[in-house]
Amino acid sequence: MNWITRERPKIDRIACPWLIKRFIDPDASFYFVPFDEVLAKASELNAIPFDIPDTEFTHYEDRCTFDYFLEKYKLEDQALKDMAPIVRGADTDDHSLTGQSSGLWAISAGLAFNFSNDHELLEKGMLVYDALYSWAKYLQKEKHTQSPAEKMLLTVFHTYLEKKKPENLKTPKWAKELKEIIQDQMDTNLSLSLKEIAEGLQIHPTYVSREFSKYFSNLSFGEYIRKLRIEKAIELLDHTGHTLSEIAYLTGFSDQSHFTRIFKAHTGQNPSDYRKNLLKR
């Protein structure tokens, strides 16, 4: 298969070719062209466009293109699933998703700075994702500090830090304003962008992403938005006669199946079962 995307790849546009070559099609070929030439060149080269808006293989909901490939090709390798939020966090600047996301972004940005040829950049990037996969597959429990003395000192240090944390963390002004914006827009704007909101508050999106969970119930931005959507869905189930498909649409889910999956993950039961239990009360 031939695949084509925008030039100057960094995260998704290297992670996805790695995934394709390693787990989908070892003989795949990749083309990098200017953004406005992708679709025309795709037709000319009989190539599948990816990580391009309004195409099949692209971002969806709060997920990135790497997530879509995993879902599309039903890749169940747990190491790949563990890599997905790392890639997503790096690609969407939501570094609160995983502790590794900011590091992956830093390495990827540095690679793009050092290599001007996109195919050479892809070649080097493949090594990065090979290493990340090996870590996810075999080394997640490994620690850099191996000495018993070092481990003891770190344990004491972190215990001390826990005791020093204030019980009532004061909520900064930006977090209060952000919460109000989310609440105000939740009913009318189901594709809220943390980057756009942060820029509207005149705060760097990376900072907001990193600090978000401290003031929002220890949840990332994506997790918090999903929580609000589920709460809205519960309200609609409680007080309206809308069908499940209508509720899925009204709460910003892509379809009823996606709505059902997320609802069950949050509540422990399907929305249809939840509604049936309401009627029994």
pLDDT greater at residue 211 or residue 150: 211
Would the pLDDT of 197 be above 70?
yes
Q: Where are the alpha helices (DSSP H) in the chain?
A: 12-19, 38-45, 65-72, 78-91, 101-114, 118-134, 148-164, 173-185, 194-200, 205-215, 221-239, 244-250, 256-267, 271-280
Residues 100, 209 share a domain: no
Residues 106, 23 share a domain: yes
Residues 201, 89 share a domain: no
CA distance linking residue 127 with residue 119, whole number of Å: 13
CA distance linking residue 219 with residue 225, whole number of Å: 9
* 258 burial type by CB count under 10 A (0-12 exposed, 13-18 middle, 19+ buried): middle
DSSP 109-169: HHHHHH--SHHHHHHHHHHHHHHHHHIIIIITT--S---HHHHHHHHHHHHHHHHHS-SSP
CA distance linking residue 19 with residue 27, whole number of Å: 12
49's tokens: 């466009």
Would you call 252 helix, strand, or coil by DSSP? coil
CB 224 within 8 A of CB 215: no
CATH number of the domain enclosing 223 = 1.10.10.60
Would the pLDDT of 67 be above 90?
yes
Residues 184, 128 share a domain: no
Residues 177, 133 share a domain: no
* 82 burial type by CB count under 10 A (0-12 exposed, 13-18 middle, 19+ buried): middle
Residues 178, 135 share a domain: no
Convert the pLDDT of each residue in 93-126 to its tens digit: 888 888 899 999 999 999 999 999 999 999 999 9
Q: What is the pLDDT of residue 160?
A: 61
CB 236 within 8 A of CB 247: yes
Q: Is residue 152 a part of any domain in this protein?
A: no
Residues 135, 263 share a domain: no
The pTM of this model reads 0.57
Q: Is residue 121 a part of any domain in this protein?
A: yes
Residues 8, 125 share a domain: yes
**Mean pLDDT estimate for the chain:** 86
Q: Is residue 178 a part of any domain in this protein?
A: yes
Q: Average pLDDT, stretch 88-93?
A: 91
Q: Is residue 192 a part of any domain in this protein?
A: yes
133's tokens: 């996969």
Torsion angle of the four alpha carbons 138, 144, 145, 146, in this order, in degrees rounded to the nearest 10: 40
Q: Average pLDDT, stretch 198-216?
A: 81
| The total number of structural domains that make up the chain | 2
For 191, the domain range is: 173-280
Q: What is the pLDDT of residue 182?
A: 78
Nearest to 236 by CA among 219, 223, 252: 252
